[in-house]
Structure 1
Amino acid sequence: MIKASELTEKEIINVVDGTKLGMISDIEINLEKAKIKAIIMPRTGGIMSIFTKSNNIAIDWNDIVRIGNEVILVNLDSTKYKDENFYD
């Protein structure tokens, strides 16, 4: 069992190309099914991007490959997060 607060201490890494994507800032929960829907990470672009919900990136729970002690491995199409709009 892992606590939501423990998730925010882990770095997100894409297994497709080994890119460090960032840290989790929040989680999205489906209350009807009592399941985590996505992990949320802020887009890069300054400290204010943390406080703006529209500047967050949701990574679907199904894209998570493994949750380790220090990192979360995700399987994302590298063209998606390298797109200029992914971090803007």
Structure 2
Amino acid sequence: MKVIYKITYPNGKIYVGKDLTGTLNYFGSANSKLIEQDFTAEERRDFTIRKQILWESETATDKEVNLKEVELITELKSNDPAIGYNRWPRFKMMA
């Protein structure tokens, strides 16, 4: 099963990612240094995150999953540094 998931961190920021194998304990490849700077050493000692499956498919191609991932990153604005930890696609501020 191929999935697109959303990780929600204790500060409310999110990360949207994909898993092409449907592995239960895969939590993405968000930049650890980026996340760590938002939490104190004490906060890191007891840390709970939430993983939600936003979309899944048994038949989608890898390309279709990639496109859906970008669509959901953009829709949820998880690439906006104020909202989430995705850094691609690059967030564009609206004028």
**Do they fold alike, i.e. is TM over 0.5?**
no
Normalization by structure 2: what TM-score?
Answer: 0.28
Normalization by structure 1: what TM-score?
Answer: 0.29
* Larger RCO (alpha carbons 8 Å, 6+ apart): 2
Larger radius of gyration: 2
